[in-house]
Structure 1
């Protein structure tokens, strides 16, 4: 039976992909040190987060979606050591779902790890990520809904630290809720976050490799506003696979859009709301016995004065960014078409020469997935 279970629940946009890269890249070495990362692959943790939160969209996900949460539980309960489960979509779980997670490990000591950022920067990043996943609304209308729903991975309940602490802390003893603050802007060594994460597990970083850079690309002001307007004109990209592969993977993070990296701000009302929620979280961390691993000052609101709002982007800027994007896409299409034609020629040669009739599915999905020029 596993001795301790560490549930890393996010928050989203707080280095979670980086930490997951570190965990999965060191899966065997962690196991040798007594820490299990269960599941056949990292996607099982995503599916398990949907399963635990009773998300009806689980059934529409491709592949094996049969009881992924129980699959991780069964593997962990058969392990003689500690277990780590990590996905940021766990954050929005309701208290009864948190209790179900704890009850799944009778006799084990359940811990929660929360990576956190200042709410002002996090709110802006969450809107950007939502746009990269097909979101169409302006920054001042995010989140898309105000009411709490445990199946909504984009709402306040998924990234409002105070709300997450209140729900998870209503079930898990506060001394077992470990909060790891991180800087909202670049410049910090991402390995510091990894080492603090390992310290919660009782491990040091010797022999556990970590990437030098954070995993996800951030868009600048003009690029994210351009992508938002493109989303409003897209049809037929409603599935999670399409949004993740084409909108986020290709346009948002595929080096197709320009790379200005200009930071931006929401309007004053949203800024005030983010500050209020951030202050509540800081008060809880000061007063309610949660285990803070790092510098709480990192969660203080950033000064966004002098930054532009997306509504300040001019038509001329959008046209310039669109022209560069189209040029990049045209180069990709030319390159991929040449590869496709070569594949077709090779297949024709193997199947009877130039006169043969060959039915070949176009390899666009395979070629474009993860495409980097």
Structure 2
């Protein structure tokens, strides 16, 4: 018995008929994003075999950051250009259309703080059947310290303010700390399935595999990267910028501080200041978790927000600076 030609579907047509779901991981910063992205990059073939495409479109540093750069008008640190949105979203749509799996996953922590207009612009141009947004948040005071470390340690970025100047309004350090303000732009615009993860619940890779319907051991375990530096190193870098050292000198100071002060403890923020941070964002986080039918875990009284028992201490002492100076003089006379 023969079939009518118009009823016969080729394998290519059948593949095109597969419903494509796009998972968009929006961050936030300092929630294990780089570790996750590197793992998915290094294991993209294994992911594809499990039914998830991690496309090479919009590529920067293991992930699809160039699409986020385009949405925010940010400059690509390597290519030194501001990516063109039409070109970037077109590249993503092409990657989705050519994917051999029904699930496609993209990630960039720069998505997190996109404006409502930028998110709508993305939604209007995506050519996919359905979308699932994934956001990860973290205990605000520890995220605050991690973000401060990241900004203060970088040479030649002009960032030199004391950490305490941001405590009363944490969002002035980084807009990602306004969890609900950022996530609501995505939730309201896409009106689709959305998952809210907590950094403290487990490793970023394991949690993301679970969202994708995969087992936690589906990919090799990845070690965390972008670890925080000692508090003394952070303070040395802040001081080097505050005193106006040249960019070249700042880089030399960074190298020397890491050599001499590597055994110093992590950055210290007092329990009093941590409480201020938790209180200042508590109402917004109540609203965030309520929107997902969850209880806010980031309150002063919650188990997850137990405050450290560390006694008050300085991040850097005059002795540390003298040790650095002595090491530098010894190296010059050696």
TM-score in terms of structure 1 length? 0.67
Q: 1:58/1:182 Cα in 2 relative to 1: closer, same or farther (>3 Å)?
A: closer
Q: How many angstroms does 1:161 deviate by? A: 1.6
Q: How many angstroms does 1:52 deviate by? A: 1.5
When the two chains are superposed, the root-mean-square deviation of aligned CA atoms in Å is: 3.9
Output the CA distance in 2 between the equivalents of 1:272 and 1:87.
Answer: 29
Preserved contact between residue 260 and residue 324 of structure 2 (Cα < 8 Å): no
Aligned twin of 2:210: 199
Q: 1:60/1:223 Cα in 2 relative to 1: closer, same or farther (>3 Å)?
A: closer
Gaps of 5+ in 2: 1-15
Output the CA distance in 2 between the equivalents of 1:109 and 1:290.
Answer: 22
Gaps of 5+ in 1: 149-153, 238-242, 335-373
Q: Deviations over 1:64-119 (max 9, x none)?
A: 94533432233123325211111111111011211222223244221111122100
Output the CA distance in 2 between the equivalents of 1:23 and 1:236.
Answer: 34
Output the CA distance in 1 between the equivalents of 2:256 and 2:130.
Answer: 40
Number of residue pairs aligned between Structure 1 and Structure 2: 303
Aligned twin of 1:160: 178
Q: Are 2:160 and 1:136 aligned?
A: yes
Write the mapping of 1:251-330 to structure 2, written as runs, cut at 5 A: 251=255, 257-265=261-269, 268=272, 271-285=275-289, 287-289=290-292, 300-304=304-308, 306-308=310-312, 313-320=316-323, 323=326, 326=328
Aligned twin of 1:362: none
Aligned twin of 1:218: 228
Aligned twin of 1:367: none
Output the CA distance in 2 between the equivalents of 1:253 and 1:39.
Answer: 37
Q: How many angstroms does 1:296 deviate by? A: 7.7
Write the mapping of 1:1-373 to structure 2, written as runs, cut at 5 A: 3-39=20-56, 41-43=59-61, 45-55=64-74, 57-58=75-76, 61-62=79-80, 65-66=83-84, 67-80=87-100, 81-133=102-154, 134=157, 135-142=159-166, 155-156=174-175, 158-173=176-191, 176-183=193-200, 190=203, 193-211=204-222, 213-232=223-242, 233-236=244-247, 251=255, 257-265=261-269, 268=272, 271-285=275-289, 287-289=290-292, 300-304=304-308, 306-308=310-312, 313-320=316-323, 323=326, 326=328
TM-score in terms of structure 2 length? 0.74
Output the CA distance in 2 between the equivalents of 1:302 and 1:178.
Answer: 25
Preserved contact between residue 258 and residue 321 of structure 1 (Cα < 8 Å): no
Output the CA distance in 1 between the equivalents of 2:190 and 2:303.
Answer: 22
